[in-house]
């Protein structure tokens, strides 16, 4: 089996929230882009949360938009061996160096894990002082959550993490933070 190497983080000093996946799919590695597989709902969900057309933007514009929103994107594994794209097939994974995030993104406070495989690293990030939350995977293979349920979980987690960005967007649109009755607790 060949050792695969992940992608560099999308991150700058504005990051307040870090989204960690497990390891890029075959489609993502081939394209050198996070969440490149068309069936993955990541860009659609994040775009809905941020009220931006991320799904249809080119990759450079996506990167600029998430940085502007105070979001960083990376994976828990720097490298691994894997046949196919399923998390269950990951072997001999080597974790990324999360410690350098403190210097790269001094405003970073919250880490959101895109699914349970990535979420196995929650204790490590909690030990570094970050607030962590495991969210439902945006993978097309995750059929245990509906799109609406995933969107609601991601919306609450991101809006709680990047309050300033969302408050500014709400002021621009003249809307309230949450429609009546839309706030419910997520127990991952």
Active site residues: 40
User: How far apart are the C-alpha atoms of 67 and 75, rounded to whole Å?
Assistant: 16
- Spatial CA neighbour of 20 closest among 104, 105, 132, 128: 132
What is the distance between the terminal CA atoms of the chain, rounded to a whole angstrom? 33
Q: How many CB atoms lie within 10 A of CB 176?
A: 8
Q: Which two tokens stand for residue 159?
A: 């809006």
User: How far apart are the C-alpha atoms of 153 and 136, rounded to whole Å?
Assistant: 8
User: How far apart are the C-alpha atoms of 106 and 118, rounded to whole Å?
Assistant: 22
Q: Which two tokens stand for residue 41?
A: 């709902």
User: How far apart are the C-alpha atoms of 184 and 115, rounded to whole Å?
Assistant: 19
User: How far apart are the C-alpha atoms of 33 and 42, rounded to whole Å?
Assistant: 12
* CB distance 118 to 135 below 8 Å: no
């Amino acid at each position: 089996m060949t050792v695969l190497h992940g992608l560099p983080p999308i991150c700058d000093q504005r990051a307040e929230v870090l989204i960690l996946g497990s390891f890029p799919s075959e489609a993502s590695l081939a394209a050198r882009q996070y969440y490149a597989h068309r069936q993955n709902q990541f860009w659609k969900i994040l775009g809905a949360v941020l009220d931006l057309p991320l799904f249809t933007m080119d990759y450079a514009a996506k990167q600029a938009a998430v940085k502007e929103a105070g979001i960083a994107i990376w994976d828990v594994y720097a490298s691994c061996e894997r046949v196919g794209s399923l998390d269950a097939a990951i072997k001999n994974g080597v974790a990324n160096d999360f410690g350098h995030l403190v210097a790269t993104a001094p405003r970073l406070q919250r880490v959101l894990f895109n699914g349970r495989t990535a979420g196995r690293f929650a204790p490590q990030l909690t030990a570094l002082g970050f607030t962590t939350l495991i969210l439902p995977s945006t993978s097309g293979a995750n059929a245990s959550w509906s799109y609406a349920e995933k969107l609601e979980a991601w919306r609450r987690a991101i809006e709680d993490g990047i309050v300033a960005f969302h408050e500014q967007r709400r002021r621009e649109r003249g809307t309230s933070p949450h429609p009546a009755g839309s706030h419910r607790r997520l127990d991952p």
